[in-house]
Amino acid sequence: MKVYITGRFYEKEDATISVFDHGFLFGDGVFEGMRSYNGNVFRMKEHIDRLWNSAKGLMIEIPLSKDEMIAAVNETLRINEISDGYIRLIVTRGIGTLGLDAHLCKNPQIVIITDHLKLYPAEFYEKGLELVTAATIRTNPAALSPQIKSLNYLNNIMAKIEGHLAGCVEALMLNDKGEVAEATGDNIFIVTREMLWTPPTDAGILEGITRQVVIDIAGEFGVPVKQSPMTRQDIFSADECFLTGSAAELIPIIKLDGRVIGNGKPGRLTLQLLERFHAETRK
């Protein structure tokens, strides 16, 4: 496997950046996770636009144009002969000092990694996934905009650890108001009385690309979508529940904190949306 680092390709074992890079020292950088289907990166433009917005939010100047970045992603897929796979696109602030002074950092670094990724086993898509609510909350939006997809994912990581300790592969995160935000790496939806509900962006969530695709598909189905503050009780009493994300796609949720959601099986609308999403990726 070859990894792209700022204009050059390196073998996996030789793909390194400086220990003085602020991306390594402080998580000072941004990233996107994307999927390719049949050689085409799904919603590439939306991902690239979000990467640029994230970088702008952190005042990092990306040393490529958007078209050049898209070409670099496609070339990395081509050189690794990956048709259906996962792409991790990273931009760090670059090499600096051991201090926090960002203005001393020079030459932001671009890293593109492509690989085959299977986030969850097939049985979870067939039978559904269980969640546990993490004590670790989402970062307050007043501290850092959740729309900045930064390299610092510590609160998500700690919540993920809580999930594993509870015997679950994923965990639900609440915001500082006690409202439902999202899972550690995915957005969340519920279905109640044939209506789709999902937390709004001001709940402290990342506005996911797949989340928006699902909202668009629901509109095509004539299914109303409401973005509204949500509590755990809303999930407990929902008819269906699922998560969305670039790597996860759509995955059904059948339990939260040991409490069965709906009939304890992947719901009808969830499965319809998943089928329609797969059709969208094949376009």
> Is 230 buried (19+), middle (13-18) or exposed (0-12) by CB count in 10 A?
buried
Beta bridge partners of 258: none
Written as one string, the DSSP assignment of 193-232 is TTEEEE--GGGT----HHHHHHHHHHHHHT--EEE----H
Residue 210 contacts residue 167 (beta carbons within 8 Å) = no
Q: Residues with catalytic annotation?
A: 149
Number of other residues whose CB lies within 10 A of the CB of residue 38: 10
Cα dihedral value 88, 208, 35, 240, nearest 10: 130
CA distance 181 to 4: 34
| Structure-token pair, residue 203 | 């709940």
Q: Judge whether 273 and 218 are in contact, CB under 8 Å.
A: yes
